[in-house]
Amino acid sequence: MAESTGKSTKTRKTASKAKKPEPAPVDHKAEAKAKFSKALEEAKAGARELTAEGRSRADAYRERAVSKSGDWADEARAYGEQAKAKAGELAVEGKARASDALAGLGKLVSDNAESIDDRFGEKYGDYARSASRKMQETAAKIESKDLDEIGDDAREFVRKSPGLAVGLAAVAGFMLARLFSGSRN
């Protein structure tokens, strides 16, 4: 009988194991799809939030840039107006100095015309008087004209004889360079 008891316990154990219901097979694909869809929706929501934040920041930066550029443009216009006014003042001053220098040179040549008559002859004295008159007339013309008229005259001169204008500009540039390089030494 002892043998039969050993067998019956074994059958009981197997029977108890057999009685447990097996869990239903889990569908991992459906679970993974659900988790992936949830993660995808969260990512889309995050991307929408980041896009909205990026747009708001970009709009703020754009507004600041527009206001700064407007301020800079206003400042540039103000500086331009100041430079234009200062250039006008300097041009008027330069015009006065040029006409005074030309008139002074004409007077100097006129004062020395008699000594030129004595040294070189009356013909050269007449040339000196003629040159003196022309210089004084030119000084008077410069003094009587405003800057716009002088600018128009200069443009007309350049159109009529561009070669001479370039040559005069080169000579003037050379003289200014010598003047300023001489002051450094």
Is residue 64 scored above 70 in pLDDT?
yes
| Threshold 0.75, pTM exceeds | no
Residue range 145-151: average pLDDT?
87
C-alpha span between 20 and 51 (Å, rounded): 55
C-alpha span between 123 and 117 (Å, rounded): 7
Residue range 158-177, pLDDT digits in tens: 999 999 999 988 998 888 88
Maximum Cα interatomic distance, the chain, rounded to a whole number of Å: 173
pLDDT of the residue at 81: 92
Q: Report residue 23's pLDDT band, with 50, 70 and 90 as the boundaries.
A: low
Q: How is residue 62 annotated by DSSP? A: H
